[in-house]
Amino acid sequence: MKTYSPETPFDDYSPPVARVLSCIQPTGAVHLGNYLGALQQWVNGQHQNDVFHGIVDLHAFTVTESPGVLGQNTLELAAMLFAVGLDPNVATVFVQSHVVEHTTLSWMMECTVSFGELSRMTQFKDKSQKREAEFVSAGLFTYPALQAADILLYDADEVPVGDDQKQHIEITRDIAMRFNHRFGETFVLPKAVTPALGARVMDLQEPTNKMSKSTTNESGCIYLLDDPASIMKKFKRAVTDSDNEVSYDRDAKPGIANLLDILSAATGQKPQELASSYSQYGALKVDAGEAVCAMMSPIQQRYTELMNDRAELQRLLRVGAEKARVVASATVDRAKNAVGFLPE
Ligand code: AMP
Ligand code: TRP
């Protein structure tokens, strides 16, 4: 990368790239909303910034009580991340539990955050209330300390997150500032950034709700691993309206607008322009379904190849973990030295 100096002609100067960290929990199947709303942006972003993508299995462990599930979910999610186009030679894709520094730094974070601060986290309040009759682990309470470790380990400048995670980035900054104040400059202060805007995909059965893995009606949700016949069936059954006129109006005609948005995301054409080329709902449904099948087909093929070659998939994850460890271990050393733990 070129850096600026008075001798460098200005045209040759490219600003330093940002270190960007995004993490995703290995819970549940990936759907079209995740893909068009987030994963596609990750794939595009890998060429613009220095990106780290963690599959955060230790976070998922806060609510895991049965054996064998976590590793399988992690493997499937990793295959999906590579299948959609994250390039292991460009992006650093790693599994959180493979980089032991996460747990080391997490403990240091736990000792730098207060009980009161953790008690104010709205996600903990929500999650623990929802689990009223179930086991609420201490890990669910200290979850933000582990998240702070994820972020600070990689000297992340930017963390793209939705509104529900902003509070966790704020607490990470507070922890980093407190640590830097107590023990000397150690951590880069991260900032929450709004993710590049992807398409917002709505449920095909309830087009005023976001497509979501917690949907009550499976036929409203397109999973990336659905076969073409079920994708077509779900599109043909999509809820629309009764006035039989194709126009792009998200408020008045949410079902049709959603189909146009999906077709637009799959073809690159504008939804308003697409609207003018249809006179019937049926044809729009079929074209949207076929466009999604065509978009998914190479992804599904790569996914299957990777899942059939587990050794290769594990190798790609080892490459990612090694790259991650180089940065993470340097940060842990810096933090331990700053505190003044007795060296080995
Ligand atoms: P979640 O499945 O809720 O953990 O979300 C993972 C990522 O996918 C987040 O970045 C969400 O913003 C994105 N996402 C989830 N559902 C949708 C949707 N229906 N439309 C667009 N983006 C979505
Ligand atoms: N808590 C995040 C979520 O529920 C997942 C996460 C864990 C994360 N570590 C992170 C997100 C670090 C961004 C950065 O979605």
Decide: helix, strand or coil at residue 190. coil
Assigned domain for 236 exists: yes
Average pLDDT over residues 287-296: 98
Span 315-341, pLDDT tens digits: 999 999 999 999 999 999 999 999 999
Domain match, 235 and 180 both: no
Strands lying side by side in the sheet with 50-55? 92-95, 50-55, 19-24, 158-160, 191-193
Is the domain of 130 the same as that of 40? yes
* Residue 100, in any domain of the structure: yes
165 lines ligand 2 (CB under 6 A): yes
User: Residue 185 is which amino acid?
Assistant: E
Note the pLDDT tens digit of each residue in 141-188. Answer: 999 999 999 999 999 999 998 888 999 999 999 999 999 999 999 999
Please tell me what DSSP assigns to residue 208: T
Atom of ligand 2 at shortest range from CA of 156: 14
Enclosing domain of residue 224: 218-304
Q: Are residues 128 and 181 in the same domain?
A: yes
Query: pTM of this prediction?
Result: 0.91
Report CA(319)–ligand 1 centroid distance (Å).
27
My answer on whether 252 and 300 are in the same domain is yes
Q: How confident is the model at residue 195 (pLDDT cuts 50, 70, 90)?
A: confident
CB of residue 21 inside a 6 A radius of ligand 2: yes
Q: Which residue intervals of the chain are DSSP H helices?
A: 32-34, 40-45, 57-60, 69-84, 101-110, 115-119, 122-130, 138-153, 166-183, 228-236, 254-267, 271-276, 281-308, 310-339
User: What is residue 13's predicted lDDT score, i.e. its pLDDT?
Assistant: 54
How far, in Å, CA of 158 to CA of 141, rounded? Answer: 24
The answer to whether residue 212 sits within a structural domain is no
Going from the Cα of 191 to the center of ligand 1, the distance in angstroms, rounded, reads 20
Looking at the structure, do residues 94 and 45 belong to the same domain, yes or no?
yes
How confident is the model at residue 4, as a pLDDT?
A: 44
The DSSP secondary-structure symbol of 153 reads H
Residue 42 lies in a domain: yes
Q: Tens digits of per-residue pLDDT, 243-267?
A: 889 999 999 999 999 999 999 999 9
Structurally, the chain folds into a number of domains equal to 2
- Ligand 1 site residues (CB inside 6 A) read 33-34, 37-38, 162, 198, 200-201, 210-213
Residue 183 lies in a domain: yes
32 Cα: distance to centroid of ligand 1 (angstroms): 9
Report the SS3 class of residue 158: strand
pLDDT band for position 7 (50/70/90)?
A: low
**How large is the average pLDDT for residues 112-132?**
95
DSSP 16-56: PPPEEEEEE---S--BHHHIIIIIHHHHHHTTTSEEEEEE-
Quote the pLDDT of residue 162: 85
If asked whether residues 246 and 113 sit together in one domain, one would say: no
Q: Decide if 208 is inside a domain.
A: no
CATH number of the domain encompassing residue 247: 1.10.240.10
> What are the residue numbers of the active site?
127, 210, 213
Nearest to 155 by CA among 61, 296, 52, 83: 52
Q: And the tokens for 304? A: 């299957």
72-96: pLDDT as tens digits: 999 999 999 999 999 999 999 999 9
- Residue 206 located in a structural domain: no
The single-letter DSSP state of residue 219 is: G
Residues 244 and 316 in one domain: no
DSSP code of 92?
E
Residue 104, domain CATH? 3.40.50.620
pLDDT value of position 74? 98
Residue 325, pLDDT score: 98
Answer yes or no: are the C-beta atoms of 286 and 232 closer than 8 Å: yes
What DSSP designation does 195 have?
P
Same-domain pairing of 300 and 331: no
> Is 2 a residue whose pLDDT tops 90?
no
Q: Are residues 168 and 251 in the same domain?
A: no
Query: Are residue 61 and residue 170 in the same domain, yes or no?
Result: yes
Q: Please tell me whether residues 101 and 133 are part of one structural domain.
A: yes
Q: What is the pLDDT of residue 196?
A: 73
Same domain, 25 and 104: yes
pLDDT in tens, 292-320: 999 999 999 999 999 999 999 999 999 99
